[in-house]
Amino acid sequence: MVKFLLFCILAVLCWPLALLALIVYPFVWLILLPFRLVGVAVTGVFELIGALIALPAKILKAIF
């Protein structure tokens, strides 16, 4: 909602810049998409490593 309100203010103050933002935004999103996917993968790997490190402690806690 905040982004929409900022866009409306931009459209009132400088409508050519607002139109340019509408055209450029999808391309920027496409360019940044691989970095988001890499971020998700790296986060998953770190979660897996953390779970593997914590596994012996959880097993010992379950036994005793």
Structure confidence at residue 54 (pLDDT): 94
Alpha helices in the chain (DSSP H): 2-13, 15-63
pTM given for the model: 0.59
Structure confidence at residue 17 (pLDDT): 93
Helix, strand or coil for residue 31?
A: helix
How is the chain split into domains, by residue range?
Answer: 2-63
Could you read off the pLDDT of 1-47 as tens digits, one per residue?
Answer: 998 999 999 999 999 999 999 999 999 999 999 999 999 999 999 99
In the numeric block, which tokens belong to residue 22?
A: 């509408």
